[in-house]
Every structure is written in C-alpha cells, then in structure tokens.
C-alpha cells in the first residue's frame, strides 16, 4: 500500500509539474503577440507625426534615428549585448548593414510619400510588404509561391491600383501635391521594408535585439546623413516643435514599433511579424481623421482600395504563416 501511495504521489507531482510547464509555455508563446500589439500602437502614430512635421523627409528620418540610437546605446551597455558583435561573421555584419540601407531607403521614400498623398493611401500601400516578403522568398530562397499566395498578391496589387487610379489624371509633376508619385513612393517603401524584415528574421535567431538594431539603425542613420549632405538638406537648427515630433517618432514608432517587431522576429516568422502592419492603416487613418491640424477624411476609393489591399495581403500571407509557424 505504501509503495502504491508513493507511486500515486509521484504521478500527481508529475502532472502538477507538467501543468505548470504548460502554463508557462502558453504565457511564453503569447508574449511575442503582446509585444506586436504594442508595436502596432507605436507604428500607427508614424504617419500622423510625419504629416505634422514641416522638415525635409530625410531630416525627419535622420533625427528619428539619432534619438533612437541614444536609447539603443544605453540598452547595449546595460544588457551587455554589444558583445554579440564580436561573435558575428563578416557575412552577418554585411547583411545587417544591408538591412540598415534598406531601412534608410524605406524611411526616405515613405516620409516623402506622406507629404505627397494621403495618410490613408500611404500607410495602406506600405502595408503591401507581407505580400512582397512572399515574393522575395520565392526569388531569394527558392520557395515557389503557392496558388493562394499568387492569388493574394494579385488581389493586393489590384487594390493598390484602385487607390492610385483617381490620381492618374494628376500625372507625376514634382510641383504641388502629386498623389500618384506619393503612392509610388509608398509602394517602394513596402519593398525596402520587406527586405529589411526578411534580413532581420535570418539574423535575429542568433543575435540579440539591441545588438542587431544597433548595427541596423546606425547604418540607416549614416546612410541618410550622407543622402542629406549630398542633397544639401539642413539637419541642424530645427525648431522646438520639430524636435518634439522627432523625439515622439523615436519613442513611439521607432523603439516601441520597429524595435518591438525586431524583437519578435526571433520567435515568429517574418510573415507573422509583418502581419502587424496590416493594422497600421486603420490606426493611422483614424488618427489622421481626428487630429484637428490634419483632418484627412479618407476618400471612398482609398477605403475600398485599402480593404482590397489588406484582404489580398492576408490571403497571401495566411498560408505561409501557418507553414512557417509549424517550422519555427
């Protein structure tokens, strides 16, 4: 009887430990999604904040990254993750630097698009990036897209055409408001963002988030500084209101948004992380409509085209997300 009681006690202990472990695993598995929820909140403020700024698009990006790097440097020292740089190979360093250049081009194109087209159109078109990730995977990783992916990408492109169609009559003249040029810039920003996040997915598996963003943000900062100097863009002597906007961009969209998504790339496939941007058009459009100094009410074509774009991206990324999650 004593032996049987001991066996029963062992079984109960084993079941208790397993249930505790399962509970911890569940909490651990949901943590990246909570981080992505806060990241979505952060990136939703990017469009309205950029719209409120009167600075050159390159200057906005340089200051945003400059403020971010001050905080990143503090975390690098506090966590000791700067030691990860010693273990990185030349290939990893080159990839991280390439990610920084892609991020710089993304910011340049997207910041410019915000001042040429509506916030709703810009953030919707830039959210094409999950579909672009699928296309990049087919070309760079030799992963042929499924019929579902092809259909989703085609639908997303159709939605982009719906958004841009009313602006086709306006041409691409550089003077005044050029919505078509802004829409094209937003689309190119989606491509560079997809490259940036795809590189992040491959590197974050072995590199700490602060070590990774330290290289990427620094490279992007230097690249944009060179672009600013070559174009004669004034970086210094910004008014206090602009400084406040730059600081807000660094704290919200950059550190909470981008850094949070880069953190999640270690635990989730790039497809899953990129799905976060699908919520940005909703948040940014609402903010752009309610902020008194912006008051951009989205047009019917933007709403319809945006819904088609988001639907296509969800279709394209959906199958890949499930497959990638199983392999992760």
Question: What one-character DSSP code corresponds to residue 144?
Answer: P
Q: Give Cα separations from 191 to 12, 28, 110, 121, 207 (angstroms).
A: 54, 31, 11, 16, 24
Which of 323, 328, 219 has its CA nearest to residue 266? Answer: 328
- Helix, strand, coil percentages for the chain (3-state, nearest 5): 85, 0, 15
- Residue 85: helix, strand or coil by DSSP? helix
Give every CB contact of residue 165 below 8 A, 6+ residues apart in sequence: 301, 305
The dihedral built from the CA positions of residue 235, 238, 242 and 244, taken in this order, carries a sign that is positive
- Give the gyration radius of the chain's Cα atoms: 22
* 149 three-state secondary structure: helix
pLDDT (tens, 9 = 90+) of the chain, 328 residues, equals: 545 555 554 454 344 334 444 444 445 567 888 888 888 888 888 888 988 898 998 999 999 999 999 999 999 999 999 999 999 999 999 999 999 999 999 999 988 888 888 777 787 788 788 788 777 767 775 656 678 777 877 887 788 778 767 765 554 444 445 788 888 898 999 999 999 988 988 888 889 999 999 999 999 999 999 999 999 988 888 899 999 999 999 999 899 999 999 998 888 777 677 767 776 766 777 777 777 767 777 778 778 887 887 787 777 666 544 554 444 4
Question: Quick one: how far is CA 42 from the chain centroid?
Answer: 10
Q: What are phi and psi of 177, to 5 degrees?
A: -80, 125
């Amino acid at each position: 009887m004593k032996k049987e009681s001991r066996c029963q006690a062992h079984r109960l202990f084993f079941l208790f430990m397993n249930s505790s472990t399962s509970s911890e695993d569940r909490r651990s598995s949901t943590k990246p999604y909570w981080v992505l929820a806060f990241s979505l909140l952060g990136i939703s403020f990017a469009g309205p904040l950029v719209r409120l700024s009167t600075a050159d698009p390159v200057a906005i990006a340089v200051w945003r990254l400059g403020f971010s790097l001050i905080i990143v440097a503090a975390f690098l020292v506090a966590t000791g993750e700067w030691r990860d740089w010693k273990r990185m190979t030349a290939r990893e360093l080159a990839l991280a630097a390439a990610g920084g250049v892609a991020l710089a081009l993304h910011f340049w194109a997207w910041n410019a698009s915000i001042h040429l087209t509506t916030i709703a159109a810009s953030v919707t078109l830039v959210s094409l990036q999950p579909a672009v990730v699928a296309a990049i995977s087919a070309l760079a990783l030799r992963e042929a897209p499924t019929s579902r992916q092809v259909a989703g990408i085609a639908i997303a492109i159709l939605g982009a055409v719906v958004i841009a169609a009313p602006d086709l009559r306006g041409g691409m003249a550089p003077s005044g408001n050029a919505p078509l040029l802004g829409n094209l810039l937003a689309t190119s920003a989606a491509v560079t963002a997809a490259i940036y996040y795809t590189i992040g997915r491959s590197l974050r598996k072995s590199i700490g988030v602060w070590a990774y963003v330290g290289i990427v943000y620094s490279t992007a900062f230097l690249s944009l500084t060179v672009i600013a100097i070559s174009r004669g863009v004034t970086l210094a002597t910004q008014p206090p209101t602009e400084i406040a906007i730059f600081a807000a961009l660094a704290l919200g969209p950059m550190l909470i948004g981008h850094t949070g998504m880069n953190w999640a790339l270690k635990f989730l496939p790039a497809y899953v992380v990129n799905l976060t941007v699908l919520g940005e058009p909703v948040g940014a459009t609402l903010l752009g409509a309610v902020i008194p100094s912006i008051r951009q009410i989205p047009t019917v074509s933007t709403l319809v085209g945006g819904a088609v774009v988001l639907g296509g991206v969800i279709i394209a990324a959906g199958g890949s997300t499930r497959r990638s999650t199983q392999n992760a």
